[in-house]
Amino acid sequence: MTKGKEEERMFKKLKAGFENLKAGLARTHNAIMGGVEAAFTGKSREDILEALEESLILSDVGVKASGEIVDKLREELAGKDEERLKALLKESIYDILKKVERPLEVTSHPFVIMVLGVNGVGKTTTIGKLAARYSSSGKSVILAAGDTFRAAAIEQLEGWGQRAGCPVIRQSQGGDPGAVVYDAMKAALSRRSDIIILDTAGRLHTKVNLMEELKKVKKIAGRELPGAPHENLLVLDASTGQNAINQARLFNEAVGVTGIALTKLDGTAKGGIIVAIARELGIPIRYVGVGETVEDLKEFDAREFVEALI
């Protein structure tokens, strides 16, 4: 393939990826901008700003962040200029999101990723997509089925492992998650694998025993490989809104969250929660999910995200 054709192929791929992200964020875009665009007809500048603040809050940007954004616009927006308002809104949101734009970098071999999250957020699916991404890029990946409590969790992970061509280390349902992690670490070290992805249980995040179990898993990984896990990736469901922030705080207190994957943005009008997470927690956002395919799990790019959102 010539250089020109390769560049054209990459451009088309990037364009398709952006359009996919834009489509995935359509509900949140409509929630934020719908009322504002209607308010431009015959209403005052202040009415427009009040409509925007209400829309931001309803899309779960958060009261504090919404107030700060609108206050900034109030200072810089002169008159009823819709295009100017959109441009200022984009920059205000980008200024918040750019602080948490830090892609996940594989810095050691093997590189251990411990994936956290409550049941139902898309944790196992996210692991499968990550495994497929890494595997397709030529890296050897081992998956550890550490969620031994949820029915069908092991089978679900094995299904993803088969699709991605990755071995899955498992025990029977109800087994000891620590033993699974121990076996996975031993296997990865002996096979010289590039990446180990540890699935973990996701029972209610308020349960003390779950957090203690996660600490145990983390300790075992670190005992077998000093410095592991290298990434504690928390998967959050965007549709849960402000509850996602509470989950992040609790997991962070228990084991230290180093990155976030925000899923199911395509199924909610509450995608503004990403702004609240960025402002209130400051934890790097590694990935955003806007669909079911492997390609729909995208590395978080603050500028691209804002352009697709507004």
CATH classification at residue 43: 1.20.120.140
**Long-range Cβ contacts of 211-216 (<8 Å, 24+ apart):** 211/250, 211/251, 211/254, 211/255, 213/177, 213/178, 214/114, 214/116, 214/251, 214/254, 214/255, 215/254, 215/255, 216/177, 216/178
Task: Give the C-alpha separation, 244 to 84, whole Å.
Answer: 32
Examine the domain organization and report whether 266 and 124 are in the same domain: yes
Task: Give the C-alpha separation, 25 to 54, whole Å.
Answer: 19
Examine the domain organization and report whether 208 and 174 are in the same domain: yes
Examine the domain organization and report whether 145 and 66 are in the same domain: no
Examine the domain organization and report whether 84 and 178 are in the same domain: no
* Domain housing 233: 111-301
**Phi/psi of residue 112, nearest 5 degrees:** -105, 125
**pLDDT at residue 234 in the model:** 98
pTM: 0.91
Examine the domain organization and report whether 294 and 202 are in the same domain: yes
In a domain, 308, yes or no: no
CA nearest to 211, candidates 113, 118, 111, 112 = 118
Helices 3-24 and 302-309: angle between axes, nearest 10 degrees = 50
**pLDDT at residue 15 in the model:** 65
3-state secondary structure at position 231:
strand
Task: Give the C-alpha separation, 49 to 43, whole Å.
Answer: 10
In a domain, 124, yes or no: yes
Q: Which of 100, 134, 158 is the last residue of a domain?
A: 100
Dihedral of CA 254/259/264/265: which sign?
Answer: positive
Q: 237: Cβ–Cβ under 8 A, 6 or more apart, which residues?
A: 120, 121, 122, 244, 263, 264
Q: Residue 291: which CATH number?
A: 3.40.50.300
Distances (CA, A) of 270 to 13, 55, 153, 166, 211: 27, 10, 27, 34, 27
Q: Is the peptide bond between 229 and the residue preceding it cis, with omega within 30 degrees of 0?
A: yes
Examine the domain organization and report whether 80 and 148 are in the same domain: no
In a domain, 194, yes or no: yes
Amino acid at 50: E
Task: Give the C-alpha separation, 55 to 283, whole Å.
Answer: 25
Q: Which of 71, 100, 129 is the last residue of a domain?
A: 100
Tens digit of each residue's pLDDT (9 = 90 or more) over 216-226: 999 999 999 99
In a domain, 105, yes or no: no
In a domain, 310, yes or no: no
Task: Give the C-alpha separation, 96 to 292, whole Å.
Answer: 28
Examine the domain organization and report whether 50 and 152 are in the same domain: no
Examine the domain organization and report whether 95 and 115 are in the same domain: no
Q: Which helix (H) or strand (E) holds 232?
A: strand 231-237
Examine the domain organization and report whether 208 and 123 are in the same domain: yes
CA nearest to 268, candidates 304, 241, 308 = 241
In a domain, 20, yes or no: yes
Give the residue carrying structure tokens 């890296």.
Answer: 139
Task: Give the C-alpha separation, 210 to 202, whole Å.
Answer: 8
In a domain, 258, yes or no: yes
Examine the domain organization and report whether 85 and 145 are in the same domain: no
Task: Please list the ranges in the chain whose pLDDT falls under 70.
Answer: 1-15, 42, 204-208
**pLDDT at residue 293 in the model:** 87
Contact 257, 265 (CB under 8 A): no
Examine the domain organization and report whether 207 and 119 are in the same domain: yes
In a domain, 141, yes or no: yes
Q: 18: Cβ–Cβ under 8 A, 6 or more apart, which residues?
A: 304, 307, 308
Number of structural domains the chain divides into: 2
Examine the domain organization and report whether 88 and 137 are in the same domain: no
**pLDDT at residue 4 in the model:** 59
Q: 66: Cβ–Cβ under 8 A, 6 or more apart, which residues?
A: 53, 56, 57
The b-or-e profile of 281-300 (16+ CB within 10 A means b, else e) is: bebbbbbbbbbeebebbbeb
